[in-house]
């Protein structure tokens, strides 16, 4: 199986590569459209700020390439958010593959922002969450979120429900860090590789 | 809801050795990677590696350690100690660190916090604040707690958060090593003053200290070293204790 990790200087790809390595899968870090099209699975990690990430995608021509991919695709953290239509973060137009607008959490004394740490997943749907339950925790670190919608495949709360995972066709996204979520994250990553 | 986090802290020197570890059954006490893996298995929510190599020595071994840790560890970890430039941070993140902790360099050049947040995102910028109670006021100390800065702790924490810190690691030097409990009033004052999560550090001695720092101190996470290293309180025992006390933790 050929696994491609999208290379657009979008943050901590090393952790994702190591997580794949722990699963016995080897991955190629690439921005080459042909390599991305050829891969059996594509992972799209991301960290940092939305407008810089979109700028980096445009510079690499990836904003045009990613939407044309047809194999199972997994956006992680900012990589999930970039699948949406628009982000409140610096008023940024996104890839537009899913119909959500990314919004900022409003902090209160009980709910700090960034939403940072382990939270449990609720209302789990679809093949990524096979074998998991609402008692399972994953690691989040983000200040912006996608609201719950028809595309939502898992929810978490902070304090209101938001999309912990989304899906449209082959495009999956998880707001949490599968690569840093212990055995639960490893299971989700393995489920994705088995799609 | 997001859970309260327990964070063991490992001191490393020259990229390898770990200070003061007396775990039974851990053959190579000098191997921070093995210790990190053990803590992760026992339910640590994150780990912090503090490089206690003098700041003017070479940084190279630290990136090698970070790679070794990142290769095996499937929970987040933060690296701190002597980090002073954007290039330092880039090297550590590229090696697989999830977050970096800055302290003296942020006090010397607060704009470093903003530079790092812009470049890498606030989520990976932890500002460590060492505070000491002097005549009723919490003063910020620098250079491993040896030099007073004249800054008041809550004000500096607020400034750091405004500049783009994604999290604060707040250590009470007046409590550190005493095992008399965390600095509850200071932790509460900082937690109420900033929108970002606060990790409380310094003074952990027994399980009830953690209950207090989460409930009374309002901390989002608690960091400790010796209580875990010397196996006085094992992580699983502590987590079950906290769960029974009504603290929301990941079991």
Region of residue B156 (phi > 0: left; psi between -120 and 50: alpha; otherwise: beta) = alpha
Domain that holds residue B171: 5-244
Residues 126-165 of B with CB under 8 A from A: none
Q: Do strands A92-93 and A137-142 pair parallel, antiparallel, or not at all (unpaired)?
A: unpaired
Does B249 reside within a domain?
no
As a whole-number percent, the residues of chain B with pLDDT over 70 amount to: 90
The Cα A176–Cα A52 span in angstroms is 20
The answer to whether residue B22 scores a pLDDT higher than 60 is no
The pLDDT value recorded for residue A138 is 98
Does B213 reside within a domain?
yes
Does B140 reside within a domain?
yes
Token readout for B217 is: 């101190």
HSE-up of residue B22 (Cα within 13 Å, Cβ side) = 7
Does B250 reside within a domain?
no
Query: Under DSSP, is residue A59 helix (H, G, I), strand (E, B) or coil?
Result: helix
The pLDDT value recorded for residue B24 is 43
Q: How many Å from the N-terminal Cα to the C-terminal Cα in chain A?
A: 12
* Cross-chain CB nearest to A117 (options B40, B45, B124): B45
- The total of other beta-carbon atoms located within 10 Å of residue B86's CB is 14
The pLDDT value recorded for residue B144 is 82
A115 touches chain B (CB under 8 A): yes
A134 touches chain B (CB under 8 A): no
Looking at residue B204, which CATH number applies to its domain? 3.20.20.70
The Cα A166–Cα A121 span in angstroms is 13
- Of the pLDDT bands very low, low, confident and very high (cuts 50, 70, 90), residue B59 is low
A114 touches chain B (CB under 8 A): yes
The Cα A39–Cα A26 span in angstroms is 12
**With contact defined as beta carbons under 8 Å apart, do B132 and B89 qualify?**
no
- At A120, phi and psi to the nearest 5? -90, 155
3-state helix, strand, coil in chain B (%, to 5): 40, 25, 35
Write out the DSSP string of A87-149: ETTTTEE---SS--EEEEPPPBTTB-SSEEEEEE-BS--SGGGTT--TT-EEEEEESEEPPP-
> What is the residue whose two structure tokens read 């490089």?
B51
Token readout for A77 is: 């953290």
Peptide bond into A130 cis (omega under 30): no
Say how many CB pairs under 8 Å bridge A and B: 105
The pLDDT value recorded for residue B23 is 40
**Arithmetic mean of pLDDT, B97-119:** 95
The Cα A66–Cα A49 span in angstroms is 19
ipTM, two decimals, is: 0.94
The answer to whether residue B73 scores a pLDDT higher than 50 is yes
The answer to whether residue B11 scores a pLDDT higher than 90 is no
The pLDDT value recorded for residue A86 is 98
As annotated, the active-site residues of B are: 11, 130
How many domains is chain B partitioned into structurally?
Answer: 1
The Cα B172–Cα B105 span in angstroms is 19
Which residues of chain A lie closer than 8 angstroms to B98, CB-CB? 12, 15, 180
Token readout for A151 is: 């595309």
Does B38 reside within a domain?
yes
B248 touches chain A (CB under 8 A): no
Using alpha carbons, select from B171, B109, B166 the residue that is nearest to residue B140.
Answer: B171
Q: Report pLDDT digits (tens) over B29-44.
A: 467 888 899 899 999 9
* Cross-chain CB nearest to B95 (options A14, A114, A120): A14
Q: Beta partners for A166? A: A152, A173
pLDDT, one tens digit for every residue, chain A (195 residues): 999 999 987 667 899 999 999 999 989 999 999 999 999 999 999 888 899 899 999 999 999 999 999 999 999 999 999 999 999 999 999 999 999 999 999 999 889 999 999 999 999 999 999 999 999 999 999 999 999 999 999 999 999 999 999 999 999 999 999 999 999 999 999 999 999
Which sequence spans correspond to the domains of chain A?
A: 3-193
- Of the pLDDT bands very low, low, confident and very high (cuts 50, 70, 90), residue B26 is very low
The Cα B232–Cα B8 span in angstroms is 13
Q: Report pLDDT digits (tens) over B169-226.
A: 999 998 887 888 999 999 999 999 999 999 999 999 999 999 999 999 999 999 998 7
- At B85, phi and psi to the nearest 5? -135, 165
The pLDDT value recorded for residue B60 is 59
CATH number of the domain at A3-193, please? Answer: 3.40.50.880
Is A119 close to B1, i.e. CB distance below 8 A?
A: yes
Mean pLDDT of chain B: 89
Distance from CA of B144 to the nearest CA of A (A): 27
> What is the residue whose two structure tokens read 């339950």?
A133
Does B34 reside within a domain?
yes
Is A116 close to B166, i.e. CB distance below 8 A?
A: yes
Does B43 reside within a domain?
yes
* Cross-chain CB nearest to B166 (options A14, A114, A181): A114
Q: What is the DSSP letter of B121?
A: -
Token readout for B38 is: 């053990």
HSE-up of residue B120 (Cα within 13 Å, Cβ side) = 26
> CA angle at residue A153 from A148 to A157, to 5 degrees?
50
The answer to whether residue B18 scores a pLDDT higher than 80 is no
A51 touches chain B (CB under 8 A): no
């Amino acid at each position: 199986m050929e696994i491609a990790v999208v290379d657009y200087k979008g943050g901590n790809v090393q952790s994702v590569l190591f997580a794949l390595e722990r699963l016995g899968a080897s991955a190629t870090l690439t921005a080459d459209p042909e390599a991305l099209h050829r891969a059996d699975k594509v992972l799209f990690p991301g960290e940092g700020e939305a407008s810089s990430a979109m700028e980096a995608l445009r510079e690499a021509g990836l904003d045009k390439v990613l939407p044309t991919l047809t194999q199972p695709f997994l956006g992680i953290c900012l990589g999930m958010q970039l699948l949406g239509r628009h982000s409140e973060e610096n008023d940024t137009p996104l890839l537009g593959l899913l119909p959500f607008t990314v919004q900022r959490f409003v902090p209160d004394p009980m709910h700090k922002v960034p939403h940072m740490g382990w939270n449990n997943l609720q209302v789990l749907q679809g093949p990524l969450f096979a074998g998991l339950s609402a008692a399972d925790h994953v690691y989040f670190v983000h200040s912006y979120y996608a609201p719950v919608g028809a595309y939502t495949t898992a929810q978490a709360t902070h304090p209101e429900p938001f999309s912990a995972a989304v899906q449209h066709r082959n495009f999956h996204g998880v707001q949490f860090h599968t690569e840093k979520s212990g055995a639960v994250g490893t299971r989700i990553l393995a489920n994705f590789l088995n799609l | 809801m997001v859970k309260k986090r327990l964070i063991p802290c490992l001191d490393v020197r020259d990229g390898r050795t770990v200070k003061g570890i007396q775990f039974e059954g851990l053959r190579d006490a000098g191997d921070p990677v093995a210790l990190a893996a053990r803590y992760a298995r026992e339910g640590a929510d994150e780990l912090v590696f503090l490089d206690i190599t003098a700041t003017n020595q070479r940084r190279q071994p630290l990136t090698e350690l970070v790679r070794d840790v990142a290769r095996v560890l499937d929970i987040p970890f933060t690296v701190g100690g002597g980090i002073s430039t954007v290039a330092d941070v880039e090297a550590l993140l590229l090696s697989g660190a999830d977050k970096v902790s800055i302290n003296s360099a942020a006090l010397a050049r607060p704009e470093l916090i903003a530079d790092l947040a812009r470049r890498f995102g606030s989520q990976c910028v932890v500002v460590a604040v060492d505070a000491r109670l002097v005549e009723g006021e919490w003063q910020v100390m620098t250079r491993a707690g040896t030099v007073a800065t004249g800054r008041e702790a809550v004000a500096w924490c607020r400034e750091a958060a405004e500049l783009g810190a994604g999290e604060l690691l707040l250590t009470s030097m007046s409590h550190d090593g005493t095992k008399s409990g965390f600095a509850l009033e200071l932790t509460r004052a900082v937690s109420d003053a900033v929108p970002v999560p606060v990790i409380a550090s310094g003074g952990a001695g027994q399980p009830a200290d953690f209950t207090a720092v989460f409930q009374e101190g309002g901390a989002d996470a608690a960091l400790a070293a010796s209580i875990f290293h010397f196996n006085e309180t094992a992580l699983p025992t502590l987590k079950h204790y906290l769960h029974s006390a009504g603290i929301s933790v990941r079991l």
